[in-house]
Amino acid sequence: MVLDKFGSGLKDVFRKIARMGVVDKKAVESIMQDVQRTLLMADVDVEMVAELSERIKKTVLGEQPPKGMSLREYFIKVLYDEIVNFLGEEKAGIELKKQKILVVGLFGSGKTTTIGKIAKWFKTRGMMPGLVACDTHRPAAQTQLEQIGKAVGVHVYREGKNPVDIAKNALKNAKEDVLLFDSAGRDALDRELAEELKRLGEIIKPEEVLLVIPADIGQAARKQAEEFNKLVGITGIVVTKLEQG
Ligand SMILES: Nc1nc2c(ncn2[C@@H]2O[C@H](COP(=O)(O)OP(=O)(O)O)[C@@H](O)[C@H]2O)c(=O)[nH]1
Ligand SMILES: [Mg+2]
C-alpha cells in the first residue's frame, strides 16, 4: 500500500530495465526520462524531480558498480533506494490527527481492505478509529466491513437507509477520533455513483479523500484520478495489489 499521489508508472519502469537488452549510459538516460515523467505526472515538484534525477544519474554513471554487480543491477538498486527514500521524506502519508477520511474507487479496487489497514495503522498508534459503512450498493459490503471492524477491534456504523443517511448518523453519534468512510464502487464512474459520492463529500466534509487504484490498471489511472478528483477532490491515492503481476 502506497499512500501518496503516485501512479503505477514506476512498476513499468522497473520492468523495462529488467527487459532491456543492454544497459549502458544511453539506456540509463532514457529510463531516467521515464522516471521523471512518472514523478511529474504524480504532481511531484519539478525541482525535486530534477534534483532526484541528477543524483541518481550521478551515482549510477559516475561510480563503478560494486564488485559482482552489473550496471543493470546497480541501476535498479540505486533507483529503488532513492525513490523509497524520496517517498519517505515527502510528507505524503496520512497524518496522525483527528480527521474524517473518505475512501473512494471503482468496484473491487480494494477500498474496504484498505480501510481495515488504515484503521489498524491508527489503532496501533493510539488513536481510535471508527468505520462507516456507506456502501449500500453491494448487499454483502456492510457485512464485509463489519468483519474487518471486528478483526481490528473498532466499531462499525451502519445505521441508516442510504449512504448519506448512514454518514449523517455516524457523524452525529461517533465518539472516535478518526472516521473512515467506506463507499460503493461501480465498474465505471457512472452518473449514479458520481451523484452519490458528491453528496457524501458535501455531507462528510472529509479532510482526506483517498482514491484506491489497483496497480494493474496502468495508463487508465490518470484518467480515473482526474474524474474522481473533479467530483470529490481527492487528496491522495492508494495503490493496491502492488505485489501481484
Ligand atoms: N493481492 C492483493 N489483494 C487485495 C489488495 N487489496 C484488496 N485486495 C483484494 O481485492 C478484492 C477486493 O477488495 P475490496 O477491499 O473488497 O475492494 P472494494 O470493492 O474496493 O471495497 C478482495 O478479494 C481483496 O482481498 C492488495 O493490496 N493486494
Ligand atoms: Mg468495498
Closest CA to 44 of 6, 83, 82: 6
The domains located in the chain, with CATH, are 2-89 (1.20.120.140), 99-240 (3.40.50.300)
Pick the residue with more confidence: 241 or 87?
241
- In tens, the pLDDT along 49-87 reads 999 999 999 999 998 899 999 999 999 999 988 887 777
Q: How confident is the model at residue 1 (pLDDT cuts 50, 70, 90)?
A: very low
pTM of the model: 0.70
Q: Is the pLDDT of residue 6 over 70?
A: no
Residue minimizing CA distance to atom 2 of ligand 1? 241
Q: Which residues have any ligand 1 atom within 6 Å of their CB?
A: 105, 107-113, 185, 212, 240-241, 243-244
In this predicted structure, which of 136-140, 166-170, 176-180 has the lowest mean pLDDT?
136-140
Q: Is the pLDDT of residue 8 over 80?
A: no
Q: How confident is the model at residue 244 (pLDDT cuts 50, 70, 90)?
A: low
- In tens, the pLDDT along 95-142 reads 889 999 999 999 999 999 999 999 999 999 899 999 999 999 998 999
**Tell me, what's the pLDDT at 41?**
82
Query: What spacing in Å lies between the alpha carbon of 211 and ligand 2's midpoint?
Result: 13
Residue minimizing CA distance to atom 9 of ligand 1? 110
**Tell me, what's the pLDDT at 29?**
96
